[in-house]
Amino acid sequence: MSAGPVLIFDSGIGGLTVLREARVLMPEYRFVYIADDAGFPYGGWGEDDLRERIVRLFRDLIDEHRPALCVIACNTASTLVLDDLRDAFPATPFVGTVPAVKPAAEHTRSGLVTVLATPGTVRRTYTRDLIQSFASQCHVRLVGSENLAGLAEAYIRGDRVEPDDIAAEIMPCFVEQEDRRTDIVVLACTHYPFLANRFRALAPWPVDWLDPAEAIARRARSLLAVSEPGDDSEDVVVFTSQAPDFPVRRLMAGFGLRFAAAGD
């Protein structure tokens, strides 16, 4: 019997940045991509409601897809529900995506690091604890962006996204203290790497934009056996809205994902 698929979960298109890397490292696995677009954006949700929603969704997802492993390719969800998911589904391995504070603290030369994330991720105790544990020697600025995930979705759909709108969201990331400047910005939302070129063009000075997608994929790979390629059925995407618009369907098709209704 072949292993089950790898399930990649996000509130929208952000998890595609992780899927891209995961496919390179786990070419023998089939992927099921879940976009909880009916719940997008996660950034503004209350913690109890979001936790309850995601655990409920996973009851059906695990029943239906029997995944070998689940990647929560969303910081806003991972910083909240990883423990709940592991408790509720102990037989399924989960890999989360949390702000890359540790590598940023290890690599900064100026000691000024910024974490750019959704307002939800910025509020989380999990995020504050990460900073406390791994970056107490640095000055870490937390920037919670209301609009960037939505702007990334719009950009990827092919809509016009004004430079000023992006600039307004990223400018608070740049800190100058005497002769020191921010040198690393952690992209702590999986949607943001889609805008990385726009960020680079608008930045007042060059910084490293830290995208953890490859590290997440490596972690997932390390937990899975190299399996016999057995299941050659297509990779699929399921949208919780059941009704993604045409540009999003086209984007998913471009990523080699066939649109599937829940229960397909």
Amino acid at 8: I
Q: Which of 4, 5, 43, 193 binds ligand DGL (CB under 6 A)?
A: 43
Minimum Å distance from CB 188 to ligand DGL? 7
**Which one, of 95, 56, 96, lies nearest residue 79 by Cα?**
96
Minimum Å distance from CB 120 to ligand DGL? 7
The footprint of ligand DGL on residues 55-74 (CB under 6 A) is 74
Would you say 191 or 221 has its CB closer to ligand DGL? 191
The reply on whether position 184 binds ligand DGL by CB under 6 A is: no
Three-state DSSP class for 108?
Answer: coil
Q: Which of 26, 76, 138, 183 binds ligand DGL (CB under 6 A)?
A: 76
The single residue of 70, 74, 138, 173 carrying the catalytic annotation is 74
**Which one, of 81, 29, 48, lies nearest residue 230 by Cα?**
29
- DSSP type of residue 233: P
Q: Which of 122, 190, 207, 221 binds ligand DGL (CB under 6 A)?
A: 190
Minimum Å distance from CB 70 to ligand DGL? 15
The reply on whether position 41 binds ligand DGL by CB under 6 A is: yes
74 is catalytic: yes
173 is catalytic: no
Minimum Å distance from CB 85 to ligand DGL? 15
Q: What span, in angstroms and rounded, lies between the C-alpha atoms of 181 and 197?
A: 20
- Rounded to 5 degrees, φ, ψ at 161 are -120, 120
Minimum Å distance from CB 127 to ligand DGL? 11
CB contact set of 78 (below 8 Å; sequence gap of 6+): 72, 96, 97, 98
Q: Which stretch binds ligand DGL (CB under 6 A): 84-92, 187-195, 221-229, 244-252?
A: 187-195
How many residues bind to ligand DGL according to rule CB under 6 A? 17
The reply on whether position 145 binds ligand DGL by CB under 6 A is: no
Q: Where are the beta strands (DSSP E) in 78-235?
A: 94-95, 112-117, 139-144, 176-177, 180-181, 184-187, 208-210
CB contact set of 248 (below 8 Å; sequence gap of 6+): 13, 37, 157, 239
Amino acid at 14: G
Please report, as ranges, the residues that interact with ligand DGL according to CB under 6 A: 10-12, 14, 40-43, 74-76, 118, 121, 149, 189-191
Active site residues: 74, 189
